[in-house]
């Protein structure tokens, strides 16, 4: 069961450096025009001397402050990441340490770009199971460290960033109709392989590609299908009180435009901000939610669908009644 909770705080954390498409033209054979036309991306934030942990801490601190809570009130920390600073400790554990959050369950989820949706549903479910009042759910990604900066077909698409929300138990629940789904990536359409270090018992082949590798067209087809299917499923589930706005994972504006057409929603019912941030993997829905909230695109009383899709392959969504003023 999902606990009756609502979002009471939200925050963002971004690296200092903005890399524009013009700057990308200096490092690979690409053009601002190609990137904008094919993806909608104009710039991305990239880590330099900041880290996935530092931007995640910043986002979490802002979310807790916005909630009017203290770090002592947080009883659960779930962080979504595929690209944290360290393998150990977890991103959640590092945020807990840096912010001085009291002893509580703290762990990471890894579900590609759908990670935040998995983290949100897990948090709301654990808040019921463990009878908790306040939880911090964040996503932090330093995907630039896993990009092949010589591969123009992928390096223009991604950016780094972090976002966080605080969930608080409330009399009325505002998170509904969770959908979590996954299927095997039979054709390796989206991978980042680990580097295997030799052991005294085995020498691994030296020519391992440990950077992000993507079959763009296949991913485009998968993403469009599952985004459209999840919208249709959620629409069916909340016929009595339909959602009117959609915040999808920000991968490519053409995916969103295409899905808007086939699902019968208007373009302006989708929030799109990937021109500013590019694809920040599991942080993208949180950065879009934060941006939509601060731009007042979202207002209390709005019923919205959040939908993610990505490597794994994974996808999922929830419907939220927005309450934050
Ligand atoms: C990656 C993506 C933008 C590529 O667009 P596309 O229309 O499929 O383009 P293609 O891969 O067919 O490439 C078309 C041409 O552009 C070239 N190209 C690729 N990247 C380029 C770049 N950055 N700049 C200029 N040209 C580029 C290709 O080499 C190809 O040239 P060719 O025709 O001479 O071989 C698109 O497939 C996509 O968005 N896929 C989904 C990605 C995604 O969402 N991933 C994350 C999911 S969580």
Identify whether residues 214 and 91 lie together within a single domain: no
- In the predicted model, is pLDDT for residue 307 greater than 80? yes
Average pLDDT over residues 156-161: 98
From 264, 261, 256, 321, select the one nearest 284 (Cα to Cα): 256
Q: What are the φ/ψ torsions at residue 181 (nearest 5 degrees)?
A: -150, 155
Q: What is the pLDDT of residue 155?
A: 98
Beta bridge partners of 166: 9, 136
The gap from C-alpha 269 to its chain's centroid, in whole angstroms, comes to 19
Identify whether residues 200 and 97 lie together within a single domain: no
Q: What is the pLDDT of residue 29?
A: 98
Question: Is 146 annotated in the active site?
Answer: no
Identify whether residues 94 and 196 lie together within a single domain: no
8 burial level (CB within 10 Å; 0-12, 13-18, 19+): buried
Indicate the Cα dihedral angle 21, 22, 23, 27, nearest 10°.
90
**Residue from 36, 80, 213, 252 to probe ligand 1 pocket by mutation (most atoms less than 8 Å from CB):** 252
Three-state secondary-structure class, residue 120: helix
- Total tally of structural domains belonging to the chain: 2
User: For 15-41, how does the pLDDT look when each residue is reduced to its tens digit (9 = 90+)?
Assistant: 999 999 999 999 999 999 999 999 999
Catalytic residue among 21, 113, 155, 273: 113
Identify whether residues 50 and 159 lie together within a single domain: yes
Question: Which of 126, 141, 173 is the last residue before a domain boundary?
Answer: 173
Identify whether residues 142 and 81 lie together within a single domain: yes
Say how far apart CA 31 and CA 36 lie, in whole Å.
9
Identify whether residues 152 and 228 lie together within a single domain: no
From 31, 13, 14, select the one nearest 22 (Cα to Cα): 31
* pLDDT classification of 253: cutoffs 50, 70, 90: very high
* Sequence-distant contacts of 21-25: CB under 8 A, at least 24 apart: 21/156, 24/155, 24/156
Identify whether residues 228 and 100 lie together within a single domain: no
Tokens encoding 27: 């490092």
Q: Which domain, by its residues, includes 208?
A: 177-321
Looking at every residue in the chain, the average pLDDT score rounds to 97
| CATH at residue 150 | 3.40.47.10
User: For 92-104, how does the pLDDT look when each residue is reduced to its tens digit (9 = 90+)?
Assistant: 999 999 999 999 9
Identify whether residues 182 and 143 lie together within a single domain: no
Q: What is the pLDDT of residue 195?
A: 85
Question: Is 279 annotated in the active site?
Answer: yes
Question: Which of 140, 156, 173 is the last residue before a domain boundary?
Answer: 173
* pLDDT classification of 1: cutoffs 50, 70, 90: confident
Q: What is the pLDDT of residue 53?
A: 98
From 238, 274, 239, select the one nearest 254 (Cα to Cα): 274
Identify whether residues 74 and 46 lie together within a single domain: yes
User: For 276-299, how does the pLDDT look when each residue is reduced to its tens digit (9 = 90+)?
Assistant: 999 999 999 999 999 999 999 999
In the chain, pLDDT over 90 holds for what percent of residues?
96
Question: Which of 153, 173, 193 is the last residue before a domain boundary?
Answer: 173
Identify whether residues 143 and 23 lie together within a single domain: yes
Range scoring the smallest mean pLDDT among 38-47, 193-202, 248-257, 299-308: 193-202
Identify whether residues 199 and 164 lie together within a single domain: no
**Residue from 153, 188, 259 to probe ligand 1 pocket by mutation (most atoms less than 8 Å from CB):** 153
Which atom number of ligand 1 is nearest to the Cα of residue 254?
Answer: 39
Q: Which residues line ligand 1 (CB under 6 A)?
A: 30, 34-35, 38-39, 113, 152-153, 156, 214, 216-217, 219-220, 223, 251-252, 279, 310
Identify whether residues 66 and 100 lie together within a single domain: yes
């Amino acid at each position: 069961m999902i606990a009756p909770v609502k979002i009471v705080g939200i925050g963002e954390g971004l690296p200092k450096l903005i890399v524009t498409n013009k700057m990308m033209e200096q490092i690979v054979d690409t053009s601002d025009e190609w990137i904008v036309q094919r993806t909608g991306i104009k710039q991305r934030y990239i880590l330099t001397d900041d880290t996935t942990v530092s931007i995640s801490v910043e986002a979490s601190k802002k979310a807790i402050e916005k909630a009017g809570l203290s770090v002592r009130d947080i009883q659960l920390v779930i962080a979504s990441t595929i690209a944290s600073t360290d393998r150990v400790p977890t991103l959640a554990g590092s945020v807990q340490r840096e912010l001085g959050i009291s002893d509580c369950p703290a762990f990471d989820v890894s579900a590609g770009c759908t990670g935040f949706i998995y983290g949100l549903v897990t948090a709301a479910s654990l808040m019921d199971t463990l009878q908790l009042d306040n939880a911090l759910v964040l996503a932090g990604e330093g995907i630039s460290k896993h990009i092949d900066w010589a591969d123009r077909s992928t390096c223009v698409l991604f950016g780094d960033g972090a976002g966080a929300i605080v969930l608080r138990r409330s009399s009325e629940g505002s998170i509904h109709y969770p959908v979590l789904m996954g299927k095997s990536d039979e054709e390796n359409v989206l991978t980042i392989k680990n580097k295997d270090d030799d052991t005294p018992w085995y020498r691994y082949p030296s020519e391992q590609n440990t950077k992000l590798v993507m079959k763009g067209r296949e991913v485009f087809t998968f993403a469009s299908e599952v985004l459209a299917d999840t919208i249709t499923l959620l629409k069916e589930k909340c016929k009595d009180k339909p959602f009117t706005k959609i915040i999808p994972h920000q991968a490519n504006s053409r995916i969103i435009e295409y899905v808007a057409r086939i699902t019968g929603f208007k373009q302006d019912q989708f929030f799109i901000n990937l021109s500013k941030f590019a694809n920040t993997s599991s942080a993208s829905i949180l950065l879009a939610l934060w941006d939509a909230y601060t731009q007042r695109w979202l207002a209390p009383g709005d019923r919205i669908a959040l939908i993610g899709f990505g490597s794994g392959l994974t996808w999922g969504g929830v419907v939220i009644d927005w309450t934050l003023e």
